[in-house]
Amino acid sequence: MDYPIRPGEIAGPLPESFDAGLYFIGRIRTPWANRSDCPHRGAQDGPTCRIELDERWRPAVAGLEGREFLQLLYFMHLARRDLLVQAPRGREGTVGTFAVRSPVRPNPIASSVVKLEAVEPSGLLVRGLDCVDGTPLIDIKPHFG
């Protein structure tokens, strides 16, 4: 989905094809329907969110019980991918895309350390996310922080 370019921002052409493929392993269910509703960073005392795993990947969570924290990788599917220079909200001036944590980037992959609340037959309950409801999930890793 394209979002308007702010003053000072610069977009560039995207490559003609992708270099790699991904398997989305599920979807993230959050209380936020729009990007503007999402917090800028998830809080580990924030709302409980559900990680819905596709059935084929459900056996892969064996052994997560008892973990306190997980790292989730997800794909910010609503983000622009073509901005080279951005004008971040609340800041004066512009900066290069790789100098900000904006979801607007060539590969809009996000990472969050979340608090594991429960392992359920169809997925996980976690706290600490900051993404739109329905965001595609790329991976789950135990966090050793």
pTM (2 d.p.): 0.87
The answer to whether the CB of 128 falls within 8 A of the CB of 113 is: yes
Per-residue pLDDT of the chain (145 residues; tens, 9 = 90+): 567 888 999 999 988 888 888 899 999 999 999 888 887 788 888 899 999 999 999 999 999 999 999 999 999 999 999 999 999 888 899 999 999 988 899 999 999 999 999 999 999 999 999 999 999 999 999 998 7
- Pairwise CA distance, residues 96 & 91, whole Å: 13
What's the pLDDT at 143?
96
- In CATH, 21-142 is 2.40.30.70: yes
What's the pLDDT at 76?
93
Cβ neighbors of 14 (< 8 A, separation 6 or more) are: 81, 82, 106
- Pairwise CA distance, residues 109 & 58, whole Å: 22
Q: Comparing C-alpha atoms, which of 142, 139, 122 is closest to residue 54?
A: 122
What are the residue ranges spanned by the domains of the chain?
A: 21-142
What's the pLDDT at 57?
96
> Could you tell me the two tokens for 87?
């004008």
Cβ neighbors of 58 (< 8 A, separation 6 or more) are: 121, 122, 123
